[in-house]
Amino acid sequence: MTVGLVLRDLTHQIAVAKNQPLSLLDKLDLQVPEGQQVAIVGASGSGKTTLLSLLAGLEPVQHGQLELSLNGQPLPLSQLSRHSGFVFQQFHLLPELDAINNVALPLKLRGDRHALARAADWLDKVGLNKRHGFAVSKLSGGEQQRVAIARAFVSEPGIVFADEPTGNLDEQTATDVSRLMLTCCRAANTSLMLITHNQALARQLDAVYYLLHGRLSLCQ
């Protein structure tokens, strides 16, 4: 299953001094075709994470239209969470769970009886076959992000949303993790919506957009 999205005329305002609204995002248009990997780059504070949250359905769209498709058929926004995965800069792993149970958690919440077996398979795929029972606090930053990638892909999502997934990693580990994430996406034909400061990573994707002063422009 593969998810695509089309964003039309998105405007998002935030309250500033004296409750005066500021347009953080202004009349944005964006298309992520099914199976494509798209990056958004821009300065800190430009609204990249807010845009990602809106696209992922984590925040309501104030003005504009977000259309989703699943294998070429319309997908209600309310169903997006069932077909998406997330990779965050801060990993967002549960410290009380070991690696395999962190990965299995999305499946367990859905009642999947094979959650642990599928989690084990994905840990093996990301190179952590000897870390299944490790507390995540005992893992390196790169290993923790590999656990997070496995968790994002274990439910076979149609799209993965990634917010600065290499931001807390050293250069070599960032290279290894980004290569792994893109390999997983392309092997499963999973769409990717990536926020990053890493220009080298962004250039590996199908399209790169630059967010500046609330507007998106396609980088050539």
- pLDDT tens-digit readout, 11-48: 998 877 677 777 889 999 999 999 999 999 998 888 99
Residue reference for tokens 């319309």:
74
Q: What is the pLDDT of residue 52?
A: 93
The 10s digit of each residue's pLDDT in 91-120 is: 889 999 999 999 999 999 999 999 999 999
> From CA 112, how far away is CA 130, in angstroms rounded?
24
Query: Which pLDDT value is given to residue 51?
Result: 94
pLDDT at 168: 83
Domains in the chain, ordered, with CATH?
Answer: 3-93+158-218 (3.40.50.300)
Q: Determine what percent of the chain falls in helix, strand and coil, rounding each to the nearest 5.
A: 35, 30, 35
- pLDDT by residue (tens digit) across 122-137? 999 999 999 999 999 9
Q: How many CB atoms lie within 10 A of CB 72?
A: 8
- Distance between CA atoms of residues 217 and 213, nearest Å: 11
At residue 122, the pLDDT reads 95
pLDDT exceeds 70 at position 220 = no
pLDDT band, residue 64 (cuts 50/70/90): very high
Sheet containing strand 63-70, edge to edge, reads: 21-32, 3-15, 63-70, 73-74
Query: Does 50 score more than 80 pLDDT?
Result: yes
Q: Residue 81 corresponds to which tokens in the numbers above?
A: 């969470």
pTM of the model: 0.92
Q: How far is CA 43 from CA 164, 174, 199, in A?
A: 12, 19, 12
Distance from chain centroid for Cα 72: 21
Q: Note whether 98 and 135 are within 8 A (CB).
A: yes
Average pLDDT, the chain: 92
